Amino acid sequence: MKRLFARLGRVAVWTLTLLLPSAAQAQVDRPTVPKHQDPVVQAVQDHIDRLCEAHDARLAKIDGPETLSREIAQARARFLALLGLDLDAPRRPPAVTLAGVLDFPEYRVEKVVVEAMPGVPIPCNLYVPKSGPVRKPTLLSPHGHSGRDRPVYQNAYQRFAKAGFLVLAKDGWGKQERRGTGHGEAGGQLALTGTELLAWSCSTTSAAWTTC
């Protein structure tokens, strides 16, 4: 089994090596984004453009498994830094309020409110399998521009739970029970402070809660 996973990993690396340069070229050919009248919003757009250009330049330099592995490691480190998450450091669970439980034959759904940061409550559904090891593989599952109540998401949560995964399905900014928070220009301006809405939604405490 270990040999099979090793082979699959090598295939995946070579596949990405072949595909990423063409993907980077496609990004280079993207249409020009119109200028925004609000200088603050335009400054955020300019910052995002610079990040995209630097990202495309890095992908264009990938020429083999070694450079791809290095880029993946660096991207992982940058993502964890954005979340303020050190996987090697002791982690303390956040404040969690249990609002109710739905019981099903193969799993249960816990309705919880996780305080990702002080004053940042996030309504979530936690899908907990009834079988398998005590420490379960965990998925933090964000939704798209609709909400976690959509059948396509519910189907995925349930199937993962039946397969033995612990699934934390959260409400995104401006969606479901968080409709009043918004996730437009006001959220984009957080980039000027060195943080993002994603970091507030998936902070150290949220990640720690599902990995403790």
Let me know if residue 63 belongs to a domain: yes
Average pLDDT value for the chain: 74
Write down which residue in 21, 51, 83 finishes a domain.
Answer: 83
Domain count, the chain: 2
Are both 111 and 189 inside the same structural domain? Answer: yes
pLDDT, one tens digit per residue, over 55-97 is 899 889 999 999 999 999 998 888 788 777 777 877 777 788 8
100 shares its domain with 187? yes
Token pair for 133: 């090891």
Q: Are residues 108 and 25 in the same domain?
A: no
Percentage of the chain with pLDDT > 90? Answer: 21
What b/e string do you get for 49-67 counting C-beta neighbours within 10 Å, with b at 16 or more? eeeeeeebebbeebeeeee
d(Cα 114, Cα 112) in Å, to the nearest integer?
Answer: 6
pTM of the model: 0.56
Name residue 141's beta-bridge partners: 169
- Residue 157 and residue 184 in one domain: yes
**Which residue numbers in the chain have pLDDT < 70?**
1-30, 33, 172-212
58 and 113, same domain (yes or no): no
Range of the domain at 30: 2-83
